[in-house]
Every structure is written in structure tokens, then in C-alpha cells.
Structure 1
């Protein structure tokens, strides 16, 4: 095991997969000479050359489509959007082409493409650069959506995504790039669509993904000092969604809170809450609660941005309210 940052885990994965399979190539803005806006691809141009690490024009719709064509011809492109927000400019290529070609053409060609992209708020990047719009993509059958929360999972899930025969949107929350964790030295992959129990508990289940998992783990650690046992489920994948894992957890704890960075209405949390109602209703002692961002375009001003994003204090409050509603006593 080696301790490394989320950023380094992604870079190591890209290098390993490019070394292992000459069909893997990288496309994106400033990923070559500049090394990527967040330095994930730094050094890879020198190592693999301009044929496999390609700087693109500022034209998301164009290079997202080039990636689809490359995948159809047998390559395995990894396309980087500088931010998830810019993927909106390539929405047609992702949703109407990468996602649907396999089905529309009767399985004659697969589309093994990965769209890597950072997202999330908290960096004072303004309303149009700080969105969590992953639910748009998770809504689409034919596209897999992955959202790791720690370096080990990031490396294993990106490896699995590159090797997958289906298109994958790989989400990297900006707040996670410098976080550290232990990563196995040997090659690891994780099956896409499998959640994990990041922390076992008996009194209440918190279901989260990406940045939210770290927040949930810290809250669980603090509440443990008061005798409250919180189980934390890390979704890891938004499509496929591992409903059995979090429903089994709720069946054990009888209470559930969903923590997410996107907006409350029509979000990932709404789907998770509905899934719990369908799969674990008889075990619930209280309604499923959700903690999410304020339903506004995210402000630029730091105090307003902080107030709009869900945090540990918000999650702790809702957990305590849920426990109190059932007469819980530690």
C-alpha cells in the first residue's frame, strides 16, 4: 500500500492503462504541454507522444464527437472536459451518440469511451462553473456514471471504466484532488455499479457519494463520541445504482439520510429515497431525509457559497432530527 493523493491515483491509472493497452489515448483541452488544468495528465505527453495525448481546440462538442468516432473504430479514448459544466456543450454527442449508438445499431459496435471531468462547488468559480449536474447523465440508459470518493476507489474505478465496453462519465469532485489515502500497489479494479459500506453502524444509514462520503465519515466519527452508531454507504456509481446494498443497510438500521452536493429537487437523493421506500419501507422507523445544496445558482462570494453548500453541520442536524423523531436514546 502507498499513500497518495486522489490526483496521483488518477494519473497512475492513466499511465498504467496507456502502457498496458496501446489503444488507450487521451483527448482534451490543455492536457498535453500544460499537463491538464488540474495536472492529472502532467508528463504523459512526453512519455506517450502527441499521437496518444492530444491537445484539442476549445470545442467540447467537436472533441467529444471525435472520441465517439475513435471508439467506434476500435480505440479506447479517455476524453477530459476541463469541468463538468463544459460537458453541456457536448451534451448531444454524449447523450445522443455515445449513449445510444450500441442499441440503435443492434450491437454492431460498442463505444468504449470515458469522459473524465471535475465538478462541484466550493472553489469560488461562480454559478456556471460550480454545478453538480451528474443526475442529468445518470438519467440516461446506456451511459454509466461513476463518482469515487477516495484515491483507492478512484484508481480502481477508472481502470474498470477504461476497460469497460460501454461509455462512462467519470466524475471527480474538485475538493477531492488533494485528499490522501492508501492505494494498493498491485492492480485493482472494481465492478461498476457496486456500492460499498464505508463504515458499519447500527442506528442510522447515511447514503452518499463523491465528496459527501468524506463528510459523512467525519460526522459519523463525531457522533460516535455521543454513542450514536452511523453506517455510511458510498454509492461509488450513480448508474448502475446499487439499490440492494443501501436497502440492506437501511433494513439493518431502520433510519436513512441521503447526503448530496446537487440540488434537492429531482436529484440523486430523490432517486435513492424512492428506492429505499420501495426496497426497505417495512423496516423504516422514520421518513427518509435528504441533505442537499440550496436551490439557487451557486454564489461567487465565499460566505454565500459556503452557506449554499451542504456541510457536516447540516448533516449532523438532520441525523439528530431523524433519531429524535423515533425516540432514539444513545
Structure 2
């Protein structure tokens, strides 16, 4: 089983508007709502890959009536600590003509020390049953870095995965994650350096691996594909040629595919192929039902990998 932890979940509202403009009336073509948050997104993909998963974290009680139908529709196993507040709503405005995306993200609720302790006890129990514990996304108000560290320490010795940015990523690295999955911009922000070549990305990733005792660093780069780095080997996966409809959840789908591969006993190379296949399905904007063994196997065979010379 893979357990995901989402500390700042959201109801994701996607609005499609052609030729979106500021300071005027825009006509909406379509509206779609879904339960979101990076860890929840990972669990959704794993669930549709028929891999056992549970999504944990906090959830707002005040508007749970908006959340519950999505959980029921997805058939997702969840276990949340209740917060007497609203789950935030994140609005994404997609313009298919201009090929632009505008994000309007709410801050979210505030949790108490008691609620953090409740979650810690929950995670300790799930860690005993899980192959991986996945900490993904931002943190909500009420959680400082000391509290975040205590949640991670609660899952030891189960291997844990970190997909976050900025201070959350910096704090998490000190606790030696098994795997990190930054996108290229998050990695550059962490290092405060522009990474313009494959060799530079691999060099810096290997430095992080050595410094923080990380096993894998998986760097997503959009249409440039992805790079998987270990201490002694690195691979580049070419992005599959699919129509780009949305980037929403693409990195989460990639992470889910990689962890799925590792959990199913795939080699590192095939796990990277599975990650690439899942990312391709996500950006093509088709239904979650496309995440199944048959579809993944068909796409895996199309993924081109190149081993990178470590120099």
C-alpha cells in the first residue's frame, strides 16, 4: 500500500474561457470541479492503476458536502482529520485559444496542535502498513517547520517521498527522503542557479543525493521529458508525443507512475517509463479511467530512454 499525505487539500475548479481578458466580461465554455491536492492526485492515479492506496491529511468540515461526492465518485480510500473550516477552492482559468492558464489559489484553513497530533498518530499507524509514505504539496496554516518535521519523523522507518517546493522542500531534505520529485523550476529555485544542460541537472541532483542520503531524484521538465538520477546512474526519458490539453496533475501522475513501478517490482528504467506514460495520460486530459494496466503497458513500450554519461 502507498499512503499519501495532503496537508492543504482543495476543491479544484477549472473554468474554460476562450480569449480570456482582464477588466471585461468573459463567457465560460465549461466548468469542471474535482477534489485536489498533490497527494490526493497521486492516490487517484494509483487507485485507477489498481494499486492499494489511501489518501490522508486534513479536510474542511464546513463544506464537506462539496467534497464527499468527489470521493464517492472516485471510489478513493481516504482518512482525514476534520477541521472546523472550509476546504479551499482553487480556480484555474484555461484559455484554449491563447494556450494560457491562470491560477487563483485560496490560502486554506488553519489547523490546531491537537489536530496535528491526531494526524501524527494516524500516520504512524499507516506507516506500518505502507511501502511508501508520500508527502506532497504545500502546508496549511498552523503547521510550522517543526510540526512538519514531526509528521515526517512519525512515519519512520518506512521510506518516505517528498514532492514540495521552497521552504517545505528545504526542511524535508534535512530528514533524508527516499525520493524527491522536483520539477526543473523547483530544483532551480532550491539551488538558486539556472540549470541549462542535462549534465548540470544531473550534477546538482547527485550532489543533493550525496548530501542528504537520497536514493532517487526524479526531475520533471514538461515537454523536455524527465531525468531520473541515482548516485551511480542517470536516465533521460523523452516525453511522449501527445496533444497537450492541460498540465494539471501531470507531475503528480508521473510520481504515481514511478512509485507504482517500484512497488510492482519494475526495474528503475521501467519505473521511469511508467512515470512517463502516466504523465502523458495526464497532460492529454483524458479520463482517469485511462490509467489502467493495459494502457500503461501499451505506452511504456513507446517511451525512449537514454542513459546519461556521468562524466
Pair in the same fold by TM > 0.5: no
**TM bucket normalised to smaller:** 0.3 to 0.5
Structure 1 length-normalised TM: 0.33
Higher Cα Rg: structure 1 or 2?
1
